[in-house]
Amino acid sequence: MSEPESGVTEVESVDDLDIAPEDGWNALYLDGEWVPAGEREEIPVENPATREPITSVPSGTEADVDEAMAVAERAQDAWAERPPQERAAVVSRACRLIEEYADDLATLFAVECGGVDLKAQFETQLAQGTMEVGAGLAMRDGGRRAESVTPGKENLLVREPAGVVGVITPWNFPLYLSSRVVAPAIALGNGVVLKPDENTPLTGGLVLAALFEAAGLPDGVLNVVPGYGDEIGDHFSAHPTPSVMSFTGSSEVGRRVGERAVGQFTEPALELGGNNAHVVLSDADLERAVDAGAFGSFTHQGQECISINRHLVHESLYDEYVTALADRAGALPIGDPLEEGTLVGPVINESQRDKIVGLIEESVAAGATVEAGGDYDDLFVEPTVLSDVTNEMPVAANEHFGPVAPVIPFETDEEAVRLANDTEYGLSGSVHSTDLSRARDVADAMETGMVHINDQPLNDEPHVAFGGVGASGMGRYNDEWILETLTTVKWISVQREPREYPY
C-alpha cells in the first residue's frame, strides 16, 4: 500500500483498499486521479460527537466542476459502448466491496455523520440493494418494436444513456443517497459528476469513488468534486453539460436547483423535504402504533426526509399514546455512536441543532407541553415528545428534521386526512388501524407519494418507486423509474416497402 502526495490511498488491488478515516482523503477525484488540494481552500471534516477533526478535503472550485463535466463527457461514449454485462459487473463488484468493508463504513458513518450502528446497518443494506438493482438495469435498457399506422413501416423505440448525470447529495444517508443514482447511472452507460454535501464528503463521495476505482471502473466515468454548496452549487446545477441533474435535499434549495437545471434543458430529478404524518385511527393497535412511532421519529435522530414529522392520534387514544411514546423516548440511550448500545447520536452540526431547538421553544411558547426530552447537550438533542400541539405550531408546520415527536389529536378520519394534507409537502406517511379497508381509505386520501399501513414512513426498497408530490419533489427513484430518468428514448422507423406520398 502506498500513499501519493494527495494523501489518498492508491488502490492497486481490492486487498489494498483502505477507507479508514485516518488514512487521509485530501483530494478531488477527477479522471481516475486523486488530485491534491494544492492552493484550494479546504473543508474540515469533524466528528459531531466529539468535535474532533477527522480530516479535510479540498473545497472544489467552479473550474473543478467544469473539468469534471468535461472529463465525464469525454469518457461517457466509450463507456456506453462497453457490453452491458461488463458495466453491470463493475457495479456488482462495488456492491460486494460495500459488504467486505462494512465495518470500516460503520466507523465512517459514526465519525462523519453521527450514525449509530443500527443506522450503519440500514445504510449499508440500502446501498447494496440499490447497487444490485442498478447493476440489473444494464441488461434492461433495450428498446422495443411498435406497430405503425403506415403500411410497410417498422417502428423501433431504442433506449440510450442520457449522457452525463450531475448528482448533488445530502449528509444524512450519504453513501446510499449517492449510490442510488451513481450505480444505475453507471450501469446504464452514463458519465457521472458527484458533489457530496460538505458535511459528509467521505461517505457521500470520495469513499464511493474509491470503491468504484477498486471495482475497475474506467477513468473519467465517475468524478467527485467536494465543495460548499453556496460556492459551487449554483454553477453545478446550471451547468450546460449534464442531461440529468439529480438533487436530494431541502425543498428550498431543490426549487433553485430545478429552476437552474431546466434553464439549461437539463432534466431535474428532485427528492426534497417532507412533513410526514403518522396517523393513528381510533381502532389502532396502540402498542404497535407506538412501536412504529418511536422508530419513525427517533431513528438517526430524526434526520430523514421520510421520518415522522407529526403524530396524528385519535382523541380516544391520545393520552395513552403520548404517555407510552414519552416513556420510549426517555429510555433511548444517547451518546457517542462508537459506544456499544447507543441508539441516539448527535445531530450533524450547530445549525441543525439550533433549528430543532428553536422550533421546540417556539412551539412551547405557543402552548405545547414537553412530555419527554426538550433539552440538549452540545450536538446531542434529547428525543422529545410534545403534547397539546396544533398543526399550526412551528414544530408541526415545518420540517424539523430532528428527534422530535409532536402529537396532535383529531376527532374523525376526515379531520385526520385534512390535518395530514395541510402542508405543502407530500413525501410519505403512515396509517394505523385494525380495519385494513378503513386504513386504505385514509391512505388513498393522503396526498403523498408513499403511504405505509400499520408501519411508519421510514421505508425504502430498491425495487419500489420512491418519491413525492408537491414541495417534496418530482420524479421517482429506484429500478424501472430511475431507468426512465437516466435514459432517453429514440424513435427509429424503417420504411421497408415503398410508400406512396400525396405529391
Residue 65 pLDDT > 90: yes
pLDDT (tens digit, 9 = 90+) per residue, 208-220? 999 999 999 999 9
pLDDT (tens digit, 9 = 90+) per residue, 331-346? 999 999 999 999 999 9
- Does residue 459 sit within a domain? no
Q: Are residues 129 and 183 in the same domain?
A: yes
**Tell me, what's the pLDDT at 143?**
78
More confident call, 6 vs 255: 255
The mean per-residue pLDDT over the stretch 152-177 comes to 97
Q: Are residues 353 and 214 in the same domain?
A: no
pLDDT (tens digit, 9 = 90+) per residue, 7-18? 333 333 344 566
The mean per-residue pLDDT over the stretch 22-48 comes to 91
Taking the C-alpha atoms of residue 279 and residue 442, their distance in angstroms, rounded to an integer, is: 9
Asked if residues 230 and 253 have their Cβ atoms less than 8 Å apart, the reply is: no
The mean per-residue pLDDT over the stretch 313-321 comes to 98
Domain ranges, residue 366: 276-453
Asked if residues 302 and 406 have their Cβ atoms less than 8 Å apart, the reply is: no
Residue 129 pLDDT > 80: yes
Residue 406 has which C-alpha cell? 409532536
**Tell me, what's the pLDDT at 317?**
98
Q: Are residues 147 and 164 in the same domain?
A: yes
Taking the C-alpha atoms of residue 415 and residue 390, their distance in angstroms, rounded to an integer, is: 13
Q: Identify the three-state secondary structure at position 412.
A: coil
With the CA atoms of 126, 202, 227 and 481 taken in that order, what torsion angle do they form, in degrees rounded to the nearest 10? -20
* CATH code at position 166: 3.40.605.10
The mean per-residue pLDDT over the stretch 276-295 comes to 98
- Does residue 321 sit within a domain? yes
**Tell me, what's the pLDDT at 25?**
83
The mean per-residue pLDDT over the stretch 81-99 comes to 97
Q: How confident is the model at residue 191 (pLDDT cuts 50, 70, 90)?
A: very high
Q: Are residues 436 and 485 in the same domain?
A: no
Residue 22 pLDDT > 80: no
- Does residue 458 sit within a domain? no
- Does residue 7 sit within a domain? no
Total domain count, the chain: 2
- Does residue 243 sit within a domain? yes
Q: Are residues 249 and 389 in the same domain?
A: no
**Tell me, what's the pLDDT at 2?**
33
State the SS3 of 273-310. CCCEEEEECCCCCHHHHHHHHHHHHHHHHHCCCCCEEE
The mean per-residue pLDDT over the stretch 426-453 comes to 98
**Tell me, what's the pLDDT at 12?**
38
Q: How confident is the model at residue 6 (pLDDT cuts 50, 70, 90)?
A: very low
Q: Are residues 59 and 92 in the same domain?
A: yes
Q: What is the mean pLDDT of the chain?
A: 94
Residue 368 pLDDT > 70: yes
* CATH code at position 371: 3.40.309.10
Taking the C-alpha atoms of residue 1 and residue 322, their distance in angstroms, rounded to an integer, is: 55
Q: Would you call 271 a catalytic residue per the annotation?
A: yes
Taking the C-alpha atoms of residue 308 and residue 303, their distance in angstroms, rounded to an integer, is: 10
Radius of gyration of the chain (CA): 24
Q: Would you call 361 a catalytic residue per the annotation?
A: no
- Does residue 158 sit within a domain? yes
**Tell me, what's the pLDDT at 154?**
96
Give the type of residue at 144: R
Count of Cβ atoms closer than 10 Å to residue 148 Cβ? 14
pLDDT (tens digit, 9 = 90+) per residue, 241-271? 999 999 999 999 999 999 999 999 999 999 9
Q: Are residues 255 and 111 in the same domain?
A: yes
Taking the C-alpha atoms of residue 285 and residue 137, their distance in angstroms, rounded to an integer, is: 40
Model's pTM, two decimal places? 0.94
Q: Which of 67, 305, 371, 399 is catalytic?
A: 305
Q: Are residues 148 and 287 in the same domain?
A: no
- Does residue 460 sit within a domain? no
Q: Are residues 286 and 162 in the same domain?
A: no
Q: Are residues 266 and 283 in the same domain?
A: no
- According to DSSP, residue 391 is labeled T
pLDDT (tens digit, 9 = 90+) per residue, 381-439? 999 999 999 999 999 999 999 999 999 999 999 999 999 999 999 999 999 999 999 99
Q: How confident is the model at residue 21 (pLDDT cuts 50, 70, 90)?
A: low
Asked if residues 71 and 209 have their Cβ atoms less than 8 Å apart, the reply is: no
Taking the C-alpha atoms of residue 301 and residue 99, their distance in angstroms, rounded to an integer, is: 25
Query: What percent of the chain shows pLDDT beyond 70?
Result: 95
Q: How confident is the model at residue 4 (pLDDT cuts 50, 70, 90)?
A: very low
Asked if residues 302 and 404 have their Cβ atoms less than 8 Å apart, the reply is: yes
Residue 390 has which C-alpha cell? 396544533
Q: Which of 67, 123, 198, 271 is catalytic?
A: 271
- Does residue 149 sit within a domain? yes
Residue 164 has which C-alpha cell? 452525463
**Tell me, what's the pLDDT at 7?**
32
Q: Are residues 168 and 311 in the same domain?
A: no
Q: Are residues 253 and 313 in the same domain?
A: no
**Tell me, what's the pLDDT at 23?**
58
